[in-house]
Amino acid sequence: KYCSQMSEQLAIVVRIANRTLGFYRPPNTKEAVDVATLTDAALRVHRRKLLAKNANLLKDIPGGAVVTGHAGELLQVLCNLLSNSIDALSANGRLTIRARKSPAEVHLLVVDDGHGIPETIRQRIFEPFFTTKQDHGTGLGLAISKSIIERHKGRIRIRSSIRSGASGTAFRVSLPVHSRPPAPAIDVQSGPE
């Protein structure tokens, strides 16, 4: 009886959340987003979590990796991926953030050597409200991240292993390359020429 009531209530919450998310409309204008700058911002957000885990961070973001999009939304995606990876790390674990540029896309990888994700869970991680974090987490982070990436005409993929001694998870986000380089920053003191 209680399980049935919980299922009904959960279905109502899902409908409300989907309707609420449906009201959000991002601005129509997209801009050049430098992946190195985006990565630095996301790492600043998670600095304390990284320090608490004493994580070994490897960052390899080449210059010129620029995508077209909404910087705030892409920061939300990267922050979510980093948060999940840091949560999966054990003390002194390794976190790698790497970008590679092809002629049409920038591929951003977030890789951890944490416990990995079993196949049965991997099939569901992009579902709204699915979570393995019983004490915290809403189960919305990856679902929203996937939606943002798809709105940016990109893709998100996952590979994971739970094998002892070779466990870990890698998320790969592929986004279209920005066709023009970002505008140079204006020197606030001297102003534009």
pLDDT in tens, 116-149: 988 888 888 888 776 766 666 666 788 889 999 9
This prediction's pTM: 0.75
In the three-class reduction of DSSP (H, G, I as helix; E, B as strand; rest coil), residue 104 is classed as coil
CA distance 164 to 119: 15
Instruction: Tell me the pLDDT tens digit for each residue of 11-26.
Output: 777 776 765 555 455 5
